[in-house]
Structure 1
Amino acid sequence: MRILVVDIDSVTRWVITRSLKEHVVVESTSLEEARLLLTNSSFDMVLLARNLPDGDGFTLLDEFEENNFCILTVNPAIDGVQQAISKGALGFLRKPIDIKQLRFTIQELEDRQKKTKSYTDFALVGSLVNKASKIRSIINERMPFLIYGEKGAGKTSLVKYLLTSENLTFVKLKGPQSSLEAIVKAFQRKVAYVVLDDFHENCTCFQNNLVKSLLIGELPHRIVFIMEGDPLGLIQKGRFDQRLYSYLKDKMVTLEPLRKRREDIPLLIHHFLEMWTKEKGSRPVVMSKRVMDLLLQYPWEGNVAELKSVVFSILEKTKGKAEIELGDLPSEVLALLAGFTFVKEMRKNIRDLLGRDYNLHRRIVELVERVLIEEALKEVGGNKVRAANLVGLHRNTINYKIRQLFGGGAWILEKQQN
């Protein structure tokens, strides 16, 4: 495998390079250097640290989303690893690097790449069926079209799936990589379509020249435009050419965010469960009703990409389970999902109380602290030291809180011990 290690830490780079002599390992110490390497070379895996001398390493996740990224981190909670996973990262390796875990991660990726997959990575389900039908009719006429929506909604995946299923070859040009020269060269290779991904990142001067070439017939019409955001909104911001909008007006398809098509969520989850069992060769897995309800309530701001990442994270950490219950969820996933539900309910209650109580802040803080400490004491049978550790307080602080909130606290301790 070709592996790129992007990290300013020389010890981490040395350990990885020295331990993986059977692979081709390339090292990079900066964001700009890594960007150049990823643009001009192909890698099977990228081991990526976030803190680089010239910027946030996680920007590469957006720029090179087709690569297999694994995050290098000292502290997953602080380094925003869950954010990276929601963007499609495979997972993380904690520093100092455990070589056995590193080799296991590489082996898993190799196994995945070697398998002949009898399924597609794209779930054509629910509301996407009608979208796909419209796009297929455009493709059959070899006409251009524009597909737009939020990041992670599945725009690029849908286009790839449909072109591949129609046995049509294509070249994808991403954002600033796009140019008239690059498009001409792609069509000279006799491809059926050129896909312009992240088209909203291109300057309007390029867009203007492109629409001119299309209108006078200098370029084939077989171009797919993929954009993040609403075309009319981008026109108002001066980021989308008005004539190009008119040219594509009748051939536009929008992919709504997942929160606006919640009926698709159970179908997508079922698809990801099937993907997992086929890839791993394991027995079928189902989510319990309580887990499914929790997944349905979450807003999924990262859309389909985040949903897939969370489902796979659950499956990875609950191997062997035929039915996944609420108690089986990894702590970070449960915190993500349950935390949203808690905040949602709290917002509603606070809105109801605003203006009715001038001491609202103090009352809410006391109420939350009271419930938190009471539940912690219940969990550990009234042991104050263990309860303090459970909620992250010093034992002197929890003693003070018990006296403050429970008037001495003897009754609450007796209650939790019985």
Structure 2
Amino acid sequence: MRKTDVEIIPTLFNHIDFLVVTDKEGYIEYYKVFRSLGSRIVKDPVGLHILELHQHLDEKTSTIMRVLKNKEPIINEKQYLNIFKERTVTVISTTLPIKEGNEVIGAVDINRYIYKSIRDIENSKYEDITKKKNHVFTIDDILTKNDAMIKVKNRTLKAAQTNSPVMIYGETGTGKELIAQSIHNHSLRKDNPFIVQNCSAIPLTLGESTFFGTTRGSFTGAENKMGLFEMADGGTLVLDEINSMDINLQSKLLRTVENESFRRVGGKDLINVDVKLISILNEDIYSVLENNKMRRDLFYRLGVVLIHIPPLRERKEDIPLLVDSFINEYNFKMGKNIKGVSKDVMDLFMEYNWPGNVRELKHVIESVFNFTEDDIIEEEQLPNYIIPKEQEKASRISINSNFCLNDAVDDYEKGYIELALKSSSTITEAAQLLKISRQSLKYKIDTYGIEIK
């Protein structure tokens, strides 16, 4: 793409804060920041691969890589990008494929900051999006009436006021990263980088360079590159699923945490960093230690402040609050006006065990929104696995003005007697199957007028 063509792009949009153009492989050919928010981590990234510049992204989360793969534009998607040393910025990205005939030869990525504190967007068409769905979580986003969760919120606020490492643990889907974001956003580090790294996604051979960076020439193809600790300097680094990290890498992480310094791979200079560490476990702590998934000395260092998130089945009084919140969210996202759930649905929600916790509840609500056209969510619109088999049977039972309990009991008893008789060759055998005397069974057969074949 010619430079003159690139420079026309800003004139086609009302606001652009920075612009990226890559080739078909994802290597940066043009990069320009129109509105700087501090010292750039990489001053001139031209020639770098986009995933080298944004190391916390991958081929599935980078809009540029997805556009290059799928050959379709992505319009107005939120991304968190580490561009400046002083902060992680949240942007609205529009990424378009550059085509030559039918072939995609590159991508252009147009970005706007969406924090009101960074730019005035009062008259922007993105104002509602920013207010309603693109905020970073704070303690106020944790909806609860549960005593244990209220203690978690209080503990979270206290943890935010110190630099001590925090370890958050709980089942999958309980909202552990929400707590991590809340700690960061209620701390003095809130305007500095907030970086999340899923430890299970780090290849064994790249673990050290991912965390500590590399020095040019340290191995074939190595360049001067920051690791996660440098990128998070002054801010917060979240180590998600730390129990999946290679045990050998854990020892190097321990040394860095204790000394607050490290050397890049192949480097000689000691680099000092100021990083608040938050680690997340999706298993019970003691199980992790007993199964040697985590070094005990690293646990003692990272688990200075422990925060346990209870599963949803232990805080069911929060389900109505969460349901209302998710309905409001998907009304906005999908342009609907659903007002709530029926009493039967809420009863099912309160009885269900929720193995996937809050995330599962949210996905159930989203699933229903794809099909319902009514104002109220009804039982038949729920995924089948939510309704237990005994509940399916109960749902076929109805009571009306002609209902009589004695008649219903008689019909129920008559049905079992007929079934026993069909399963037996004699009345005596049927009585033994029903565990009553032959005389009692003969009396009931006569009473109900059951024909014996």
Q: TM-score with structure 2 length normalisation? A: 0.48
Q: How many aligned positions are there? A: 255
Partner of 1:216: 259
Partner of 1:396: none
Report matched runs for 1:3-402 at 5 Å. 37-38=59-60, 42-43=65-66, 115-119=129-133, 123-126=141-144, 127=146, 128-164=149-185, 167-168=190-191, 169-177=193-201, 179-184=207-212, 185-189=227-231, 190=233, 192-218=235-261, 220-283=274-337, 285-321=339-375, 323-326=376-379, 329-330=380-381, 333=383, 335-339=384-388, 342=391
Q: Which has the larger radius of gyration?
A: 2
Instruction: Give, in whole Å, the separation in 2 of the partners of 1:261 and 1:46.
Output: 43
Uncovered stretches (5+) of structure 1, i.e. residues with no partner: 1-23, 27-34, 48-65, 68-110, 346-365, 371-410, 413-418
Q: Which amino acid aligns with 1:136?
A: L
Is the CA contact (8 Å cut-off) linking 1:148 and 1:155 kept in structure 2?
Answer: yes
CA deviations 1:159-204 (Å, max 9, x no partner) are 2354346534211111145545433423323450111111111022
Is the CA contact (8 Å cut-off) linking 2:341 and 2:377 kept in structure 1?
Answer: yes
Q: Which amino acid aligns with 1:206?
A: L
Instruction: Give, in whole Å, the separation in 2 of the partners of 1:314 and 1:37.
Output: 30
Return the offset for 1:282.
Answer: 3.8
Q: Which amino acid aligns with 1:261?
A: R
Is the CA contact (8 Å cut-off) linking 1:171 and 1:191 kept in structure 2?
Answer: no
Question: SS state of the match for residue 195, structure 2?
Answer: strand
Q: Which amino acid aligns with 2:196?
A: K
Cα distance 1:36–1:165, how it changes in 2: closer, same or farther (>3 A)?
A: closer
Cα distance 1:280–1:304, how it changes in 2: closer, same or farther (>3 A)?
A: same
Uncovered stretches (5+) of structure 2, i.e. residues with no partner: 1-22, 26-56, 71-77, 80-124, 213-226, 262-272, 395-414, 420-448
CA deviations 1:249-293 (Å, max 9, x no partner) are 441111121112212212111111121223344435111211100
Q: CA RMSD in A?
A: 4.2
Cα distance 1:341–1:183, how it changes in 2: closer, same or farther (>3 A)?
A: farther
Question: SS state of the match for residue 147, structure 1?
Answer: strand
Question: SS state of the match for residue 140, structure 1?
Answer: coil
Cα distance 1:340–1:141, how it changes in 2: closer, same or farther (>3 A)?
A: farther
Instruction: Give, in whole Å, the separation in 2 of the partners of 1:193 and 1:36.
Output: 20
Question: SS state of the match for residue 387, structure 2?
Answer: helix
Q: % of aligned pairs identical?
A: 22
Instruction: Give, in whole Å, the separation in 2 of the partners of 1:113 and 1:229.
Output: 39
Q: TM-score with structure 1 length normalisation? A: 0.52
Higher strand share: 2
Instruction: Give, in whole Å, the separation in 2 of the partners of 1:45 and 1:151.
Output: 32
Q: Which amino acid aligns with 1:171?
A: I
Higher helix share: 1
Q: Which amino acid aligns with 2:211?
A: I
